[in-house]
Amino acid sequence: MNFNSILEQYRKQSLSERDKGTRFERLMQLYLQTEPYYASRFSKVWMWDEFPFRKDLGGQDTGIDLVAQTTHGAYWAIQCKCYQESATINKAEVDSFLTTAGRSFMNDSGMTTKFEHCLWISTTNHWGSNAEEAIKNHTPAVSRISLFHLQNSSVDWDKLEQGLSGELVLFLVPSIALLGQTLEEMVLCSMDDKKLYGEEFYHIGFGEAVNKGLLSDYKVLVLTVNENDMTASAQEMVSKGQVEFEVLND
């Protein structure tokens, strides 16, 4: 399996844009620990939600996907973008990454530190002129790993992917119908076959389980945004499937 095959697999099997992005980030985490050029420089590579000092940088995902620590103790901020090959990197998304990467944080020695370097990884070779200008002579310096570099890497992509696959995912939802709305392309299995799974020996409804404190209640929020409320750059990003919006609770 080569790199292009893995990308195609992610695009077909991912449950959402977020899921596809997470799969790609974990693959890049292994790549940076395996590719000789980077493996010899990094002692540790964290996913953003595993980075121990992320709270000083806002906690939430604000543009940084991975953080690497070099063998001499410095930190690199890393952005990973799993785009279509024809996509073009624009300035807005670059600015978000560079803004967070420019902030200070407290390391495990209690010292205030900053990222020494920025690394942008993407599955496209195309950059807009304004995005190119944004990283030119930037401090900290920005380097790039493009689709070309990933396709021509010496790593064994098949082995890297095998290291990420084989996990069993359990979904707990009130109904198959609700799950199906999200996993439209996923094959769903039922346990109604008594010959295979046996007779039902106990049943408790969702409402009763919530009342007994066994399950947490939930609410479904559906938000609509008028195109007049969005900037032109945001509309373009959405139309290309390059962005995912979150509702954050303060």
Q: Are 115 and 68 in contact (CB under 8 A)?
A: no
**Mean per-residue pLDDT, 73-89:** 95
**Mean per-residue pLDDT, 113-129:** 96
Please state, in angstroms and rounded to a whole number, the distance separating the CA atoms of residues 37 and 40: 6
- pLDDT tens digits, 172-219: 655 555 555 554 444 445 566 676 667 777 777 767 777 787 777 766
**Mean per-residue pLDDT, 209-234:** 69
Looking at 55-59, 122-126, 142-146, which range is the least confident one?
55-59
- pLDDT tens digits, 97-112: 999 899 999 888 889 9
**Mean per-residue pLDDT, 85-98:** 93
| pLDDT score for 216 | 74
**Mean per-residue pLDDT, 61-75:** 90
Please state, in angstroms and rounded to a whole number, the distance separating the CA atoms of residues 104 and 112: 6
| pLDDT score for 233 | 66
Is this prediction's pTM over 0.75? no
| pLDDT score for 243 | 54
| pLDDT score for 83 | 93
**Mean per-residue pLDDT, 126-150:** 95
The per-residue pLDDT of the chain, averaged, comes to: 82
pLDDT band per the 50, 70, 90 thresholds, residue 168: very low
| pLDDT score for 209 | 77
**Mean per-residue pLDDT, 29-36:** 93
- Enumerate domains of the chain plus CATH numbers: 3-164 (3.40.1350.10)
| pLDDT score for 199 | 78
